[in-house]
Structure 1
Amino acid sequence: MVRPRHPTSRQPAARADRDRLGAPVPRARTGRAYGGPDQSHGETQRSRPIAGTEYEPDLTFAVTAHDSPTGPVLECSGELDLDVAPLLRTALGEAFATRPAHLVLDLNGVTFMDSTGLDVLIRAHLEAARTGTALRLARPSQSVTRILKLTGTDQVLLTDLDLSAARPAG
């Protein structure tokens, strides 16, 4: 047992994982990356899960594929962020696999988009250039338009304000 150090003593201090009386100090298992201090032991709590921890993402995003006379139309709705970006990546991958001449990404229903969503759009643009597909962003919402303008990608990604060229077939 490690004894507590007296202020005038030359003995080594107690180990950091023990309290003043030598009892084990419980530590937060979640690390120190996020959140504020835990008042009981000076540790910090995380408000986000640790990598590798299973959790339920808030899936507030949907991609619906439609056929049109000019090619596939992917209609997006909800919040496009880190948790749901793989859904859009998968839908885009399946659309590009058919080698369409035109691909329309309808972003009218996107209520929020972070840098991960922007990354998906840029990678889709690069894939379209590689495969010879004409990619168009149709009816981008105000939040999407804002991030495109702030980053200057509105000058690179082609956008249309309507879906007249990509009406669903049938």
Structure 2
Amino acid sequence: MTNRLIRRAAALGAAIVLGGGAALAGASPAQAYGCYYGTADVTSPEGGRGATAAGRLCVNEYGNAWLDTNTNNYIKDLKADGYGARAYIYWNQRYTGAIAFDDTSTSGPAKLSWESGGGTRYLWTELWVCLGYARPEDYTSRCSLVVYAS
């Protein structure tokens, strides 16, 4: 299986087990162009919720993607565990980021903002939240898929 298919299967499996709406809604074959909203938490290595994120991700038929600026897109570190929260975007077959960082020394969440720029034929786009220096392509429990669009 390709990495992309593995990520899709993992997201669907997590949605079924955890009841998450973002990945389950995104698994529909009817999903194509438009905007999709999701939230996710990452567990701290010390236990409990370590970070949370929310975002509305949009794609169009021209291969452009962006985080909807009319939505409260954010990442928030929830625990003083030494692992800051970072947000990453998967677009055009590669990861971009961290596009934002938050740790418990800040009073509020960090806002997320991102646009893809030029179009691509690879329309699959994902928003991830990770703790510490973990990255989505590491496939560890310190990252969680927030929302994806295809």
TM-score, with normalisation over the residues of structure 2? 0.28
- Which of 1 and 2 has greater Rg? 1
Higher strand share: 2
TM-score, with normalisation over the residues of structure 1? 0.26
Relative contact order: is structure 1 or structure 2 higher (C-alpha 8 Å, sep ≥ 6)? 2
